[in-house]
Amino acid sequence: MHINISTLNKISQAGLALLSDGYHLTDSIENANGILVRSQDMHSMDFSDNLEVIARAGAGVNNIPLDRCAEKGIVVFNTPGANANAVKELVIAGLLLSARNIPKALSWASSLDENISASVEKGKSQFAGHEIAGKTLGVIGLGAIGRKVAYAAKALGMEVIGYDPYFKGELENVKIYEDIKMILPLCDYVTIHVPASDSTKGMFGKELLTLMKKSAVLLNFSRDKLVKENELIEVLDAGMIAGYVTDFPNDVISGHENVILIPHLGASTSEAEDNCASMAVQQMMDFFENGNIRNSVNFPSADLGPLGDKGRVGIFASASYIDKLMNAEGFSGYKILNRAGGTKGDYGYILLEIDSENVASMMFYGSNPIRIKAFAK
């Protein structure tokens, strides 16, 4: 096995060290079979026929052209939960920065150059803030990060309520609302933890922002595209909400007195970078060696465990083609012993375990799939 891996950003050595014999790092994107990426924008990149996997060392994938990858049979992995603790801690820091007016206080204290002790005691009252204990936090999105934020806020004495139309479970001592418009008027702080998609882009515009308390603060450590920032500035200027804390600085919001900007530090801890890189590499290797797909954002999950004595065939194809194979008894003249996979949108993936070791020589039937990959020891 000879697999070429390229990196588009600085990837933690903790992850790269997991690459075993047969995996080779290369600077050539053209020759890469797999790409490890963090935040670099890939939308304008051309993908060669060699490329089979893109592994995002992080959760968000709006920097990757998912539809184009699906059309070419390129699996895109992400690492949900690997950076959840790091983001959770920064959200709590953002809450405290806002509640205690810390950025303005720090800037003022740093500007003092004489009689500092006396000046501090005389001027500190202008930065008096509020305690977060007893205040209500609304968590919008109850995935891995949202749940961690909810529990951390509860531990700090906050009342926590949540909204997530896709969350079907329960959170201890957290009331979950079915309508986002019901939750916003109740909150002193609102923190966003939803993925960036066509349905969530710009979800926080004037319509939702004006439902919040005038004293409320919005926190966004998820994605900048979730907030219509021109409308946000209008609402802030009108005094309709008190502040905005975000991990995504840009020209629109920079310099506003009621905006706290953090330079995209959400996953910027050594622990999170190690976790994300390790998870991305492990998922990539599991695909190349076993045909398994876990945590893909453009293809369904398919997991048959470690490869045994029998060969496997992984097939990327149209949804209709995959549906036929999901019910087939045999494949290319061989009995299907086991299978996993399914469809996602217009495309799908199926992993077949075949009653044969010689999978590389098989003939394939039907219309041409997008990509076929054989797995054997």
Structural domains in the chain (count): 3
Choosing from 207, 232, 261, the residue where a domain stops is: 261
Q: What are phi and psi of 145, to 5 degrees?
A: -75, -45
Task: Work out the average pLDDT over 147-166.
Answer: 97
Residues 106 and 12 in one domain: no
Q: Looking at the structure, do residues 56 and 46 belong to the same domain, yes or no?
A: yes
Give CA–CA dist 53/37, Å, rounded: 11
Residue 366 pLDDT > 50? no
Tokens encoding 360? 């590389």
Same domain, 100 and 248: yes
The answer to whether residues 248 and 283 belong to one domain is no
pLDDT of 368 reads 65
What is the arithmetic mean of pLDDT over 43-53?
96
CA-CA-CA-CA torsion for 137, 142, 148, 149, nearest 10 degrees?
A: -20
- Tell me the residue range of the domain where 375 lies: 299-377
Indicate the pLDDT class of residue 376, thresholds 50, 70 and 90. Answer: confident
Task: Looking at the structure, tell me whether residues 277 and 240 fall in a common domain.
Answer: no
Is residue 7 within a helix (H) or strand (E), and if so which, with residue range?
strand 3-7
Q: Read off the pLDDT band of 118 (50, 70, 90).
A: very high
Q: How far apart are CA 325 and CA 339, in angstroms?
A: 9
Residues 154 and 171 in one domain: yes
**What pLDDT is attached to residue 358?**
62
Which CATH number does the domain housing residue 28 bear?
Answer: 3.40.50.720
Compute the mean pLDDT over every residue in the chain, rounded to the nearest whole number.
Answer: 94
Report how far Cα 116 is from the mean position of its chain's Cα atoms: 44
Residues 284-300 have pLDDT tens digits of 999 999 999 999 999 99
311 within 8 A of 321, measured Cβ to Cβ: no
Q: Residue 96: pLDDT above 90?
A: yes
Rounded percentage of the chain residues whose pLDDT exceeds 70 = 97
Is residue 357 very low, low, confident or very high in pLDDT (cuts 50, 70, 90)?
low
- Looking at the structure, do residues 110 and 257 belong to the same domain, yes or no? yes
> Residues 213, 338: one domain?
no
360 pLDDT band, cuts 50/70/90, is low
Q: Quick one: average pLDDT of 213-237? A: 97
Can you read off the two tokens belonging to residue 64?
């990757």
d(CA 227, CA 209): 10
